[in-house]
Chains A and B, each alone.
Chain A
């Protein structure tokens, strides 16, 4: 069981950080627009961070079972292909997860 006080503190911290980010343009509009580094990071970071999160969570899943990272590689490739063609996040996530669960529980 995860301790409630710890989760409450995490929720508070995450809520504060998320709100601060969303509010920043409304309190520091002029300053933000003048910072070239803000613009550069805004272009660079989103794709880099998503790639890192994808690789990190796939690596974590691959490390949780013997037999190599093949189910992760196959399922991620499937999700990417589905999302690229359909733009339907629910479909991509649902089919990708279902195929992954089948592979993991079907003796692959």
Chain B
């Protein structure tokens, strides 16, 4: 049996994981263009940690009082303390903070990342769960994906598409020239908040579904590659979405046939495409007057 035929023969094993990975990668690639354009590449990492803190916090509280809650059908706490829900809430709170700091918030972002990481480890130590299980809950797995994750990632993706379909032009104006946008009467903070919230929702959902490394890598690398070679903003978005989806699908296949870690294979492929894009721009000169723009500030 060839690699390809054995891959397709195992269709039922990888179907859900591949659907989730490709869907998440396409959406992350699109949002990554905004992240790179706004020069806030640390923000997704910090949002991931804030989201993880929400999960660990919920698990810790469940470990303390969960048994009692299960026996109290009138309590709303079980809903409020759902780990997935709380992870999104924490990410959204961090996003609201970063949106307020827009343009000058690198210190706040790095602090959130560092303090979030430390608290996840400390609180995680008190959670009565096997370390491997906890990592799986926190950072997902690109290989073993529950079918429900398709619903979570799909719902988050739909929300992102709706918000961006409505506010895309405002996001561009506010990101490109906030002073001019403010002078024109656009609400800068509210607009930034919607943009950061959409990034927070997607990165926290994708982290749980496919893992932290692929979620971050597929947000940044396809966007960088797309921006290096695209002639237009629309082209950059299309390329980032395409590269992300392709890297996720091909990475999953490569991981299956070569028995590699799936997340690393996806990120490695996206990194390879980014490298080719850099070479193309270095030798082909196709950056249209923006030579060095991606690294000059």
Q: Tell whether A and B belong to one assembly.
A: no
B interface residue numbers (CB < 8 A to A):
none
